[in-house]
Amino acid sequence: MTAMPTDGSPDDLAARVQRLHVPEPKADREALLLKVGFVLVLVGLILVGAGYWGASGTAKVAEQIPYAISGGAGGLALVVVGAALIMRYSLARLFRYWLVRTLYEHQVQTDRTVEALARVEAALRDR
């Protein structure tokens, strides 16, 4: 990126800000991950239910183990992965909101400080 000469005017600043390219978060990808997370949780719960259904149909433990492994463990793994995707999406939204809120509060505090300093400057000038 090359440095461009500036004259320091507000119009120049506005023009430079318009030329800035700030990438936005990939909202489509995040929404897709959220949907995938919900689907994985749902499929995992169905697998756990199917594993239970299959294991409950027999009294022999040796016949119940494959149902417990495939349905129970596999379904539980899908539930955990899906919940992690949902949590990741939720935390990303929370942190973005928190960052914007913090920036806003800092801007308000800066504006108040500038106004107070302007009043002090005006009071000292009037002396």
In this prediction the pTM is 0.62
Per-residue pLDDT of the chain (127 residues; tens, 9 = 90+): 445 556 666 677 677 777 877 666 666 788 888 999 999 999 999 999 888 888 888 888 888 888 788 888 889 999 999 999 999 989 988 998 899 899 989 999 999 999 999 999 999 998 8
Question: What whole-number distance in Å separates Cα of residue 34 and Cα of residue 36?
Answer: 5
pLDDT value at residue 119: 95
pLDDT value at residue 1: 45
Measured CA to CA in angstroms, residue 61 lies from 46, 52, 55, 67, 116 at distances of: 22, 13, 8, 10, 78
